[in-house]
Chain A
Amino acid sequence: MAEFLANYGFLIVSMVLGALLGLSLYLPLMTGQLSLASPGFYALGGYIAAILSTQVFKVSGGLFPIGLVLLEMLIAGVVSGILGVVVGIPALRLRGIYLAIATIAFVEILRILSLNLDITGGAVGIFGIPQPFQTPLEYLWIALPLLIVSMVILYRLERIRVGRAFTAIREDELAAGAMGIDPTYYKVLAFTLGAILAGVVGALSAHFLNTWNARQGTFDASIVYLTSVLIGGTRTFVGPVLGGMVFTALPEVLRAIADTAGLPLWLAQFLRDGRLIIFGLLIVLGTIFFPQGLVTPDLLKRQRHK
């Protein structure tokens, strides 16, 4: 067990972070808004933590205090939240594919900024980020509670008035407006909540990855997380959590399977080198056979009635 944890500690935490990012994409989707801005806020949160921990909070020797990490996460959350409102109000006047394009543009702007500013270290990025923990696995102390709290909040959110309003807007924005729901308010709210979550996760990831640069949270990353949410399921928060975890783990699981003793050489070779082909194949098959995602509300209901 200890060996397993040492081996896969990094992956387990990555899976939790993947699930959190999935949730941050799911929040705007609750109101039916296809936003790809989450990775931008993720990158922003990471830069905030990276800059603060390497330049502002100078800790000499030993481990970086956990309190400061939490403070960075708080600051990242607040900044992302404010920026979320500022970006959300104009951007959310757009719908569907136009909103997606606008949010991609937002992510690009942040990326180009980080490439050109001195404080973000240009293309090399920021390295030597101090560590609050001895082993990667210990990041679970922060990541897991964060995931549980987010899931509890989302569980409640789906059942109170605000969440119902989100769903109403998702199903039919005009009808929801006619019922007295202010679509702009709720859409910006959902978008901002997603932004805050992404920013907080980014701040933690910067420490977790030891280094932060402009390649984090790019357009490619948006697509990967969007895929994981869509395959996981977009109708209940369990879907993105599952999808985020599975899709973060998949390339590494395939690597582990490839290392199993006794496999024919060509199969092991294929599992190792062709990991991404299998990854793509699963996405194609997933969208064909599970158009609603793996986890749908019906599925959860059926489980309950058994």
Chain B
Amino acid sequence: MKKSTFLGSALLLAFASLLSACNQTNSGPNATTTANPSAGAVSSNSIPIGIALAQTSNVALLGQEGIQGAKIAEKYFNDKGGINGTPIRLVVQDTGGEEAGAINAFQTLITQNQVVGIVGPTLSQQAFSAGPIAERAKVPVIGASNTAKGVPEIGDYVARVSAPVAIVAPNSIKAALKINPKIEKVAVFYAQNDAFSKSETETFQQTVKDQKLDLVTVQKFQTTDTDFQTQATNAINAKPDLIVISGLAADGGNLVRQLRELGYKGIIIGGNGFNTSNIFAVCKALCDGVLVAQAYSPEHPNEVNKVFRTTYVNQYKKEPPQFSAQAFTAVQVYVEALKALDQKSKVTAMPLPQLRTELNKQILAGKYDTPLGEIAFTPVGDVIQNDFYVAQLKVDKDGNNGKFAFLK
């Protein structure tokens, strides 16, 4: 008996180390920059920028997309000479999906890794928790995937490059009206246990009212649900011409599938949760034609996006997702602000607290040409972005290949 338990644990251990080995190979040529605990103030050989995103837990998918983008940015800007000759160095700490994890990651980055600023965390709820920590320590934070209302308002040091839902979401309804001007009745679905979907659906519902459309039903579901027959039937009975869904990829995709299977033929709009290629695996050919508003298009014509897109496609064999582009942008904002600061006075010579404060001022003052297009910041730190897009999911008949086709 004893022997078998030992055997079991040995097996588990072997399995665990195998898993870690997989992680290794996946990280590709851009191997993680290991955190350097002994880093004092900003040393002359590299400038540390903290990345606090989820690598574990159920939001890890989003966090990992962010880290991919940030790593591409690290290599790209270092190849271009870093901060006037000094390379940047990303220090990655996992936040997990919890508030406490985000605070711990921020704390480690601020006091132990001595970073000049932080990109993250993954969720808006985590931002509400960890943002005040950075605010008190006077360390600039740029959110790359926080879209809830109130995030930049956490404090002077908290900004974001992820446009809030209130600005992005209405575009897809306008696009749907362009495709079919006869739309009158709209049914709305949302995941009530997801903070993002909750605030997104409020925007959608407001837009529906503003466009003088008839909101026939609002159906709630949970991100953990797999069966949507009741809600789908209820909605279809109200005979909508348009269905708007705010949910995540797994639940939202299944909902689309079940709506189509129950015979709904009209246009479907997905929220930002659909903004990942993982959606194709869930609903296959049935999600063909779904509209999604985006804050990023891989086809954005500027120079930096072309390089970013090519690098991403070469490395991961698919188009870069929005979260990767936003994380890239966040790192780019740091790099360009540091460069601008460096021209006034050498950043490597500045004491860390002063550098952090000056950097924060510089971030908010600057204008940046990024993969997201030209951006700047409002005084509270919210992003000012000009270009938004609406994409339509295009999937093969057999459901194996899907892509986001951008509408003009």
> Which residues does A use to contact B, with CB under 8 Å?
3, 6-11, 14, 115-116, 122-125, 127-128, 131, 134-136, 209-211, 213-216, 251-252, 255-256, 258-261, 265-266, 268-270, 272-278, 281, 284-285, 288
Chain B neighbourhood of A3, CB < 8 A: 111
- Using known A-B contacts A123-B198, A211-B125, A273-B94, determine if residue A115 contacts B16 with beta carbons closer than 8 Å: no
Interface residues on B, range: 35 or more
Residues of A within 8 A of B112 (CB): 7, 259
Contact of A210 among B34, B128, B199 (CB under 8 A): B128
Complex contacts, B129 vs chain A, CB 8 Å: 209-211
- 16 new A-B pairs (CB below 8 Å) besides A7-B111, A213-B195, A276-B57? A9-B107, A10-B103, A10-B133, A135-B136, A136-B133, A210-B133, A215-B98, A216-B99, A251-B101, A259-B37, A261-B36, A269-B24, A272-B55, A274-B23, A275-B56, A276-B56
CA–CA, A210 and B135, complex, Å: 12
> Which B160-204 residues sit within 8 Å CB-CB of chain A?
192-195, 197-199
Provide the bound-state CA to CA distance between A302 and B13, in Å: 33
**B19 close to A277 (CB less than 8 A):** yes
Q: Please, how many angstroms separate the alpha-carbon atoms of A6 and B125 in the complex?
A: 23
Chain A interface, DSSP helix/strand/loop, else mixed? helix
Flag if B148 contacts A270 (CB, 8 Å).
no
Given contacts A209-B103, A273-B23, A273-B55, contact A281 B12 (CB under 8 A): yes
Query: Cβ of B24: which chain A residues have Cβ within 8 Å of it?
Result: 266, 269
Q: Does B17 contact A (CB under 8 A)?
A: yes
> Given A259-B35, A273-B20, A277-B16, are A215 and B104 also a contact pair (CB < 8 Å)?
no
A6-B111, A284-B12 are known contacts. Are A273 and B56 too (CB-CB below 8 A)? Answer: yes
> A211 to chain B: closest CB distance in Å?
4
**B154 interfacial contact with A, CB 8 Å:** yes
Say yes or no: A278-B99 contact (C-beta < 8 A), given A211-B128, A215-B125, A273-B23: no
| B192/A116 in contact, CB under 8 A | yes
Report whether A10 and B128 are in contact in the complex, using a CB–CB cutoff of 8 Å.
no
Q: Which of B4-58 contact A (CB under 8 A)?
A: 5, 9, 12-13, 16-17, 19-21, 23-24, 27, 31-32, 34-38, 55-57
Residues of A within 8 Å of B133, CB to CB, are: 10, 136, 210
The reply to whether A10 and B125 form a contact with Cβ atoms under 8 Å apart is: no
Most A-side CB within 10 Å, residue of B9, B23, B125, B154: B125
**B-side interface mostly:** helix
Asked if A127 and B198 make an inter-chain contact with CB atoms under 8 angstroms apart, the answer reads no
Judge whether B99 and A209 touch: CB under 8 Å: yes
Measured in the bound complex, the distance between the Cα atoms of B158 and A211 in whole Å is 16
18 contacts between A and B (CB under 8 A): A9-B107, A11-B104, A124-B124, A124-B148, A128-B150, A134-B136, A210-B128, A211-B99, A259-B35, A259-B108, A260-B37, A261-B37, A265-B31, A265-B32, A269-B20, A270-B17, A272-B94, A273-B23
Residue B132 CB within 8 A of the other chain? yes
Are the C-beta atoms of B94 and A255 separated by less than 8 Å? yes
Residue of B at shortest CB range from A125?
B125
Bound CA–CA A116/B93 (angstroms) = 33
How far is it, in angstroms, between the C-alpha of A107 and the C-alpha of B62 when the chains are bound?
Answer: 28
Q: Which residue of A is nearest B105, CB measured? A: A255
